[in-house]
Every structure is written in C-alpha cells, then in structure tokens.
Amino acid sequence: MKKLLLKILRWFNLDKIFPITKLAEYTKDNPQKLANWLVKHIRWIKDRSTKNHWEDPEIALKRGWCDCEELACIVYEVLLKWGWQAHIITVWNKDKCHAVCAFQEVHGFGGKWCYTDFGGLTVTTARSLPEISECIYKDWIGWAVCDMTGFPVSEVKRM
C-alpha cells in the first residue's frame, strides 16, 4: 500500500512539491536554482477557461502544474521572501499574452534585469523594466505591471 501511494505521489509530482516558504528556504538567494527547480517540478498547462483566471500561487505550487501567470506569482512570492524587489509583468502582441516575474539580479549577474518563466531564468540586456518587454516579444504592443490577481497597476503601449 505504501509503495502504491508513493507511486501516485510521484505520478502527480506531489512528492517534490514544497510550500512557497520551504521553496524560498531551499533556493535562498539563487534565482538559477529556483528556475531550475520550477522547470523540473512544475508542468505548464494552458488555462482551461476562456477567462484568464489567476490562481493562488500556493495552490498551483502544491498542485504541480500551472500556466505562466501562476508561475510568475510563485517566483514573485519567493523573491519577496528573499527580501528582493520583483515585478509581475504581462507583455502582449496581437496574438498572445505572456506573464513573467522580472527582477534586477544584484548577486551574480552584475545588476542585469532577469525574468523567469517556463523556459527557465533569462538574463536580459534590458537596462530597465520597460525594456524587458522587447526581450519577451520583439513585436510587443503593450505591457503592464500587475498585482497577484492580474490587475494592472501601470500600463505602457507602443505607439
């Protein structure tokens, strides 16, 4: 019975899922380690509803799957627990929208702007938060800094 339960936990990836506090402790001040862990243990699954619903990052982390918004929120929560400043940004073009957690990495990448998504950690050439949108979509139309519910707190659009 114990072996069957362990198999089920492994199948759903639940044997490796931590609450956000534990994940923050495990990856302390190491965004590369955090990104690697998330890519290995969290599966991307497209939103099932037509509304782009942002779920609680703790639920998504425990479940072991989410889409880009929840992943951005997980990274955001971990970085806040590290005491870092982070931003959830959404970038869109005419076809799609993508959410990432952006931050300025001061420990190992010389203050460069980075973002984390299902592709892992990306160190950019951006010199400011607005320039990250071009690193995500070259043909971006707009971007916004959002809170953890997806509500925009600022917006910039390309003319």
Residue span of the structural domain in which 67 resides: 2-157
What is the number of domains present in the chain? 1
Q: Is the predicted pLDDT of residue 3 greater than 90, yes or no?
A: no
Could you give the 3-state DSSP secondary structure of residue 96? coil
Q: What is the dihedral of CA 86, 66, 133, 156, to 10 degrees?
A: -80
Q: Tell me the whole-structure pTM to 2 decimals.
A: 0.82
Average pLDDT over residues 71-88: 93
Indicate the pLDDT class of residue 37, thresholds 50, 70 and 90.
very high
Distance (Å, whole) CA 101 – CA 92: 15
Q: What is the mean pLDDT of the chain?
A: 83
Q: What is the dihedral of CA 52, 148, 31, 44, to 10 degrees?
A: -20
CATH code at position 13: 3.10.620
